[in-house]
Structure 1
């Protein structure tokens, strides 16, 4: 059962489901069925957030989340992780709700849970960011390398909810020393903005490509990798549209394939790969799901020293695989 305090926090902090509709956000109109498919994703995030803010016990939160459709379950965990991160921050970073969630039922959804932490970061002052990611060393694979997805999530949130500033005016955030790599911070933000472009333009390849092209060319690679990730994980496009997307990416098609690999890995890690993810693996990288997962696993590195984060070195090895293939 919800607590009185939790209910008060929910009423203050949780947006209405209508707030994430394309019409309310002012996104360009498109086919109604695609909009409905894509709108269900942030709505699942909001449901997870509301339950995370409102519920009395971890068991109740897990039980509520278990009732979500498998395709949307990871998104609901994004929202629940966002809520837990904010609640922990309200305790001065001394809370353990986020750790308990990610060490427990949220473990299969770790990739999306990091993104949920990024959604919380968009609502917290920067001085609190230092403690938002719990130390999962030894208990969660791909940690801390994949925690850059929190920065990706921050970029997605800003582009989705403040589109005029972050997309139309192409705002570049100030660096932040995430994992001691401040120069990479804007790049990871751009990866999230690229994901948001897939939603903002309703999974229409031509419009998404035009949106990327309006950014500074130095940002295109990271934006395209975000597009590849979103088109694979979220779906919304038929196989022929995905093949068109790959062609429109031109010299950045390896970046699109890179995003696809991470999306397939995240879906497989969570134990459910929908049809649209299988389509994307084939259309964007000419791989089956098992081969995409193997590519991600075979290229991962751990705690590598250097000017670039381990996360980007991992991405580079995946990108190199596609670059080595004949055109």
Structure 2
């Protein structure tokens, strides 16, 4: 097993350089995984494939980089719409990069944060993928790593860990039992990530995704539906005409959770590439534009209020809950 934390050295050794190819992943290895997904149509399947290719482009670029700045050149080869997915992959790629370069894993924010600050959420989610690979049964080691992260984002790796679990196992609910090992708050955020994975496992087939959510412990239904909303808003930013139809299929008691997740997805997209966000939103009808911009405003206001009150404990959960409490008015 790769050590969770490596002893720091100034330069990668020749031996560690030689190990780089062992950490790369051919995008084709996910094809059997995607083949098991029950997607609504072929264009959804192709979109999931493109997202996976983009994610692994960023991962491979970071894992094999001499200097992390090399990641930018690889990401620029992708269509602009998919580049944030690649930077999420780079967050995962920091794991092998830190090992090969002898850098402590908790230096993550120092290196990845300076590389791509506009995808801060995606970066931390990508780190969760790596932690799910190297330490899934070491909750104390994961907690020790995440506790050193910025308090606003230290729960986000659990979202990535939960997403990885659901995505690689085609949304198998039995796998979620392991989330309990990450504590109360980690467990809830893992379920949000699992719910987001269901969006990709069943993209467009909302009823099937919701049926899977229904089989979870009821205490996690809201988390999982939040993840569905996040995945929908983030991956279908360029399909605004489809959003209302998806929202209409969500049971009324869970629509605020769905919209909270969507609000976080839209805000992440806006931060990652504001010009592209404005361009794509400009093509939407006025009602959807108003809803999106109001949702993003709520995300910012809740965050700023927490910062103003110097809230540090489980910041991300309080951010989610505060946003959910205020987005209900945007559903109609």
Counterpart in 1 of 2:127? 117
Counterparts of 2:330 and 2:293, CA distance in 1: 18
State the SS of the aligned residue for 2:250: helix
Contact 1:78/1:116, CA 8 A, preserved across alignment: yes
How much does 1:79 deviate?
1.3
Give the alignment's TM-score, normalised by structure 2.
0.80
Q: Does 1:298 align with 2:308?
A: no
Counterpart in 2 of 1:206? 207
How much does 1:48 deviate?
0.9
How much does 1:90 deviate?
6.3
Query: How far does the alpha carbon of each residue in 1:116-151 deviate from its partner, in whole angstroms, 9 at most, with x for none?
Result: 101111111225424545956xxxxxx422332211
How much does 1:282 deviate?
7.8
How much does 1:283 deviate?
11
Counterpart in 1 of 2:178? 173
Counterparts of 2:41 and 2:34, CA distance in 1: 16
Counterparts of 1:299 and 1:109, CA distance in 2: 20
Residues 21 and 262 of structure 1, relative CA distance in 2, 3 Å threshold: same
Q: Any residues of structure 2 matched to 1:94-105 within 5 Å, and which? A: 94=104, 98-105=108-115
How much does 1:54 deviate?
1.1
Residues 311 and 284 of structure 1, relative CA distance in 2, 3 Å threshold: farther
State the SS of the aligned residue for 1:171: helix
Query: How far does the alpha carbon of each residue in 1:25-52 deviate from its partner, in whole angstroms, 9 at most, with x for none?
Result: 5112542111111221121111111111
Query: How far does the alpha carbon of each residue in 1:221-257 deviate from its partner, in whole angstroms, 9 at most, with x for none?
Result: 1010000000000128954542232122221000111
Residues 313 and 297 of structure 1, relative CA distance in 2, 3 Å threshold: same
Structure 1 stretch displaced more, 286-295 or 199-208: 286-295
In structure 2, runs of 5+ residues without a counterpart are 1-12
- Among 253, 263, 266, which residue is 1:264 paired with? 266
In structure 1, runs of 5+ residues without a counterpart are 137-142
How much does 1:97 deviate?
6.5
Counterparts of 2:20 and 2:280, CA distance in 1: 33
Residues 41 and 232 of structure 1, relative CA distance in 2, 3 Å threshold: same
Give the alignment's TM-score, normalised by structure 1.
0.81
Counterpart in 2 of 1:139? none
Contact 1:115/1:152, CA 8 A, preserved across alignment: yes
Q: Does 1:147 align with 2:157?
A: no
Residues 279 and 150 of structure 1, relative CA distance in 2, 3 Å threshold: farther
Structure 1 stretch displaced more, 194-203 or 14-23: 14-23
Counterparts of 2:258 and 2:94, CA distance in 1: 32
Counterparts of 1:93 and 1:25, CA distance in 2: 37
Counterparts of 1:102 and 1:65, CA distance in 2: 14
Contact 1:260/1:280, CA 8 A, preserved across alignment: no
Q: Any residues of structure 2 matched to 1:172-251 within 5 Å, and which? A: 172-175=177-180, 182-235=183-236, 238-239=239-240, 241-250=242-251, 251=253
Query: How far does the alpha carbon of each residue in 1:176-233 deviate from its partner, in whole angstroms, 9 at most, with x for none?
Result: 56xxxx3111110000011000110122222222222232322211010000000000
- Among 37, 54, 60, which residue is 2:64 paired with? 54
Counterpart in 2 of 1:323? 328
Residues 49 and 37 of structure 1, relative CA distance in 2, 3 Å threshold: same
Counterpart in 1 of 2:49? 39
State the SS of the aligned residue for 2:177: coil
Greater RCO structure (CA 8 Å; 6+ sep):
2
How much does 1:93 deviate?
6.0
Residues 299 and 74 of structure 1, relative CA distance in 2, 3 Å threshold: same
Counterparts of 1:50 and 1:132, CA distance in 2: 22
State the SS of the aligned residue for 1:147: coil
Q: Does 1:83 align with 2:98?
A: no
Number of residue-to-residue matches in the alignment? 312
Counterparts of 1:283 and 1:155, CA distance in 2: 35
